[in-house]
């Protein structure tokens, strides 16, 4: 069986097309629309409480009876150095004051402890068919429990070394995330410089080194890029930025507009919002935080500190103090329904014939 058929059989989908999980952008409506069209929608629940996770899964199930993936963040919570984090918050307040932005302060002593382990129980009891994850590998016991429940696992790799690590832990499918990709890098080996490998180089090298099917991610926006990824050896594709401007996207109007007007050089990698490297369209917040020369705390501590700033910015439809995560090809994203986007991708890829 070729790798695409293997992937289709594993995921129980009609087409080898996965909508990338995009926390803050993806809605149950987007996930269901993609799955209903024969692709695999992915519901992001990284950093969400068990209650919210359950609610989102149930909302999605109410909209589709097709398989969809639920996406976790596979990191552990770091220890919190209250004094150091408070000092960073003080620096952020100077910025927001200067721009007259509302900034409710975070009580650092009460920062929530996220653990994907609590979510694993919900995924099992809700009989979720596919679980994907980023920011590392979930622990061996969780892998075993999810596999015992018949759940297919997809991990994210940004280098051959990470892909091999995922395969060695028994992960069923690997998303090879090129440097073009919007949002956070899935990188999880921190003993080497950040891998910055483009999809064109990453996909064939990962495909050569692992035996499980590989999903290509990063810069895939249309039939041309799908076909290129498949020629490079991908079994299927994972598409994110193409859905940024969809009707079902949570992104504020200004975000959709700036994505539309963006050019190839507008996105950059930044640690400004979360302490982890992520690709988005540069704005005032990036520039101001970069000037601070912060000693970035482990994820998600800076993320927690910037949530109120982003929320305030979004309320005002202000694009300067919120995340504008987008891939290098985001300019090609279309203002359509998610179902229309999927149908177009399938037709352009030549899969509907
Ligand atoms: C707005 C946004 C949010 C994202 N959030 C997540 C997430 O929650 N989990 C995840 O695994 N990947 C996340 N990603 C990365 C995507 O899974 C995927 O790698 C990327 O979108 C592919 O590149 P493209 O944007 O060029 O299509 C996000 C990407 C974007 C653009």
pLDDT value for 114 = 85
Report the C-alpha gap between 203 and 142 in whole angstroms. 27
The mean pLDDT value for 22-39 works out to: 98
In a domain, 12, yes or no: yes
- Note the ipTM here: 0.99
Please compute, for residue 119, the number of CA atoms within 13 A of its CA located in the half-sphere on the CB side.
28
Residue 148: count of CB within 10 angstroms of its CB: 9
CA 111, chain centre distance (Å)? 23
177 lines ligand 1 (CB under 6 A): yes
Q: Distance, CA 239 to ligand 1 centroid (Å)?
A: 8
The CATH number that applies at residue 338 is 3.20.20.70
Per-residue model confidence (pLDDT) at position 22: 98
* CA distances in angstroms from 351 to 17, 173, 233, 248, 344, listed in the order given: 10, 21, 16, 24, 10
290 in a structural domain: no
DSSP characters over 92-138: HHHHHHHTT---PPP-GGG-----HHHHHHHHHHTT-SEEEEESS--
Residue 83 CA, ligand 1 centroid: distance in Å: 32
> What pLDDT does residue 352 have?
86
- Closest residue (by CA) to atom 5 of ligand 1? 22
What is the predicted pLDDT for the residue at 189?
96
Average pLDDT over residues 122-129: 98
| CA 346 / ligand 1 centre spacing (Å) | 20
Residue of the CA atom closest to atom 15 of ligand 1? 183
Q: 21 lies in which domain range?
A: 3-77+113-253+330-349
Q: For residue 308, which of 95, 157, 2, 7 has the smallest C-alpha distance?
A: 95
**Edge-to-edge strand list for the sheet holding 278-281:** 183-184, 278-281, 267-270
**Could you give the CA distance from residue 335 to residue 118 in angstroms, rounded to a whole number?**
36
179-228 pLDDT tens trace: 999 999 999 999 999 999 999 999 999 999 999 999 999 999 999 999 99
Is 180 touching ligand 1 by the criterion CB < 6 Å? yes
Cα(133) to centroid of ligand 1, in Å? 11
Residue pLDDT, tens place only, 100-117? 999 999 999 888 788 999
Decide if 158 is inside a domain: yes
In a domain, 88, yes or no: no
The Cα diameter of the chain in Å comes to 61
- At residue 353 the predicted structure's pLDDT band, cuts being 50, 70 and 90, is low
In a domain? residue 102: no
Q: How many domains does the chain have?
A: 1
Whether residue 74 has its Cβ less than 6 Å from ligand 1: no
**Which CA distances in Å does 82 have to 35, 88, 170, 292, 304?**
43, 10, 37, 19, 13
CA dist 22 and 35 (Å) reads 15
What pLDDT score was predicted for residue 111? Answer: 86
Enclosing H/E stretch for 280 = strand 278-281
Q: Is the CB of 218 under 6 A from ligand 1?
A: yes
Residues 25-55 as b or e (16 or more Cβ within 10 Å = b): bbbbbbbbbbbbbbbbbbbbbbbbeeeebbe
Give yes or no for a cis peptide into 300 (omega within 30° of 0).
Answer: yes
pLDDT in tens, 56-98: 999 999 999 999 999 999 998 899 999 999 999 999 999 999 9
- Using one digit for the tens of pLDDT, what is the confidence trace for 150-172? 999 999 999 999 999 999 999 99
Evaluate if residue 277 carries a pLDDT over 90: yes
Q: How far apart are CA 279 and CA 186, in angstroms?
A: 11
DSSP 48: -
Q: What is the pTM of this model?
A: 0.97
CB 163 within 8 A of CB 216: no
- On average, the pLDDT of the chain sits at 97
Contact 212, 189 (CB under 8 A): no
CA 212 to chain centre: 21
């Amino acid at each position: 069986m070729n790798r695409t058929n293997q992937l289709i059989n594993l995921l129980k989908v009609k087409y080898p097309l996965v909508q990338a999980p995009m926390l803050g952008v993806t809605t149950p409506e987007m996930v269901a629309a993609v799955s209903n069209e024969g692709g695999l929608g992915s519901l992001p629940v990284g950093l969400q409480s068990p209650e919210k996770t359950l609610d989102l899964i149930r909302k999605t199930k109410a909209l589709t009876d097709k398989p969809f993936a639920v996406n976790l963040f596979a990191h552990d919570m770091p220890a919190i150095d209250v004094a150091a984090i408070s000092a960073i918050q003080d620096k952020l307040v100077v910025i927001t004051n200067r721009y007259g932005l509302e900034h409710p302060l975070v009580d650092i002593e009460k920062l929530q402890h996220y653990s994907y382990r609590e979510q694993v129980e919900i995924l099992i009891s809700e009989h979720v068919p596919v679980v994907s994850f980023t920011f590392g590998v979930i622990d061996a016991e969780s892998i075993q429990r999810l596999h015992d429940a018949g759940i297919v696992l997809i991990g994210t790799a940004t280098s051959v070394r990470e892909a091999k690590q995922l395969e060695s832990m028994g992960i069923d499918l690997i998303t090879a995330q090129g440097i073009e990709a919007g949002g956070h890098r899935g990188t999880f080996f921190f003993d080497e410089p950040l891998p910055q490998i483009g999809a064109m180089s990453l996909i064939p090298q990962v495909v050569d080194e692992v035996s499980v099917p590989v999903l290509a991610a990063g810069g895939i926006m249309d039939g041309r890029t799908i076909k290129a990824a498949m020629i490079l050896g991908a079994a299927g594709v994972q598409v994110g930025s193409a859905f940024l401007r969809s009707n079902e996207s949570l992104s504020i109007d200004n975000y959709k507009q700036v994505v539309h007007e963006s050019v190839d050089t507008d996105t950059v990698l930044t640690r400004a919002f979360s302490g982890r490297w992520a690709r988005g369209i540069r704005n005032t917040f990036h520039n101001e935080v970069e000037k601070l020369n912060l000693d970035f705390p482990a994820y998600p501590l800076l993320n927690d500190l910037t949530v109120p700033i982003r929320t305030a910015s979004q309320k005002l439809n202000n694009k300067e103090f919120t995340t504008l995560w987008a891939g290098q090809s985001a300019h090609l994203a279309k203002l359509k329904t998610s179902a229309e986007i999927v149908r177009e991708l399938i037709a352009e890829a030549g899969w509907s014939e």
